[in-house]
Amino acid sequence: MELSEEDLRLINALQISPRISWSDAADVLDVHPTTLASRWDRLRESGAAWTTAHLMGDPKNACLALIDVDCEMHLRPEVTAALAAIPEVITVEEAASNRDLMLTVITQDLGEFSNRLLPRLKEIRGLTKYRTSLCTRIHTSGYAWRLNVLSRAEQQALRALAGPEAANPSSPDAIVTPLPESHMALFPFLARDGRASAAEIARALGRHPATVQRQLGRVLASRMLSFRCEIAQQFSGYPITCQWFANVPAGQHEAAAAELRAVRNVRFTASTTGSTNFVIIMWLRTLAEVMEMELAIQQRIPRIELVESVVMLNTAKRVGWMLNQDSTATGAVVPTAAGELFPAIEVPTTA
């Protein structure tokens, strides 16, 4: 399967405005709404692209951890499957050096991580060792990565039409609004389809559409979820994932992150605890670009120390979605139980 230029334009539009209506998107892309809807259905069904919403895991409100895992070689598939089945383990990747697997984990707090998540890792047969780094600040996340195949005018038009779900959830001034449990029931549906409508969710939950429409509006504005349109990496033009463990001088993390935001390949940057204090993840065109990007990083951030680079061999799970070996989505989703991560607020039963 190959993606056409029109497919890529549609994906780029949904990266900017994940829940835009087909009629609004049609005005910007100059394509009939029915054609866009049909094209999107084909992309979703093939696993080439999908929209999702996942808990942000901002260190101000939750515990976001990066875990290196070692396992017995002949049991790696079983270990990978067991880890991917844990909702709090949102991403599972197979690494090429110094560790077998790399995990991204979100829990309510450090106590939840230590007392509930880690014991589950120790129970997995074949998992022999793990090492943990804790994120102290997220600077850039995958929701902001773009294909950049649209013109600047088209991108500006889409941003103007975007709803609250397209706002930067990791902005320093972003305030997370707690939600009642009734609203959190919408989260799994948005994890499976970031474009799920109030009517669809209402039918599944057995609630009145107007009630769910009101609840959905609060969820979108709450900043609890990060919405994104994903593309199977093989179709992105950037099939290689590389992660750098780095050290950045204290007080210069924000400046370093600002420099890296100008590099279009960047998927994730964060400040962390551990033997290094800064993590960079990029999607690259070739392995040769690893060295080129290291030079570019050094030029942009002269005082950064790049301690180690790790190339990923395979991604089994990405922010809740199970992936095939070719990076397409299987259709299976393991959404995090929001109620276990964020305490619901007390509200009247009519809410």
What angle (nearest 5°) sits at the alpha carbon of residue 210, between those of residues 225 and 174?
25
CATH of residue 184: 1.10.10
- Please give the mean pLDDT across all residues of the chain: 93
Q: What is the pLDDT of residues 300-324, one digit of tens each?
A: 999 999 999 999 999 999 999 999 9
**Structural domains in the chain (count):** 1
Residue 79 in tokens: 């270990």
Q: Is residue 135 part of a domain?
A: no
The residue ranking higher by pLDDT, 22 or 172, is: 22
Q: What is the pLDDT of residues 36-65, one digit of tens each?
A: 999 999 999 999 999 999 988 888 889 999
pLDDT band at 341 (very low <50, low <70, confident <90, very high): low
Q: Is residue 195 part of a domain?
A: yes
| Burial class of residue 302 in the structure, from the number of CB atoms within 10 Å of its CB (0-12 exposed, 13-18 middle, 19+ buried) | exposed
- For residue 29, the model assigns a pLDDT of 98
CB count in 10 Å sphere of residue 32? 12
Q: Is residue 100 part of a domain?
A: no
For 34, the enclosing helix (H) or strand (E) is helix 33-46
Q: Is residue 10 part of a domain?
A: no
Average pLDDT over residues 218-234: 93
Q: Is the model's pLDDT at 331 over the cut of 90?
A: yes
d(CA 22, CA 35): 9
Q: Is residue 121 part of a domain?
A: no
Q: Name the CA dihedral angle for 238, 143, 42, 24, rounded to a multiple of 10 degrees.
A: -130
Q: What is the pLDDT of residues 57-106, one digit of tens each?
A: 888 889 999 999 999 999 999 999 999 999 999 999 999 988 999 999 99
The residue ranking higher by pLDDT, 346 or 177, is: 177
Q: What is the pLDDT of residues 3-37, one digit of tens each?
A: 999 999 999 999 999 999 999 999 999 999 999 99
| Burial class of residue 163 in the structure, from the number of CB atoms within 10 Å of its CB (0-12 exposed, 13-18 middle, 19+ buried) | middle
Note whether 233 and 327 are within 8 A (CB).
yes
Q: What is the pLDDT of residues 136-155, one digit of tens each?
A: 999 999 999 999 999 999 99
Full-model pTM: 0.92
Domain that holds residue 204: 177-222
Average pLDDT over residues 201-228: 94
Q: Is residue 269 part of a domain?
A: no
Q: Is residue 210 part of a domain?
A: yes
Q: Is residue 187 part of a domain?
A: yes
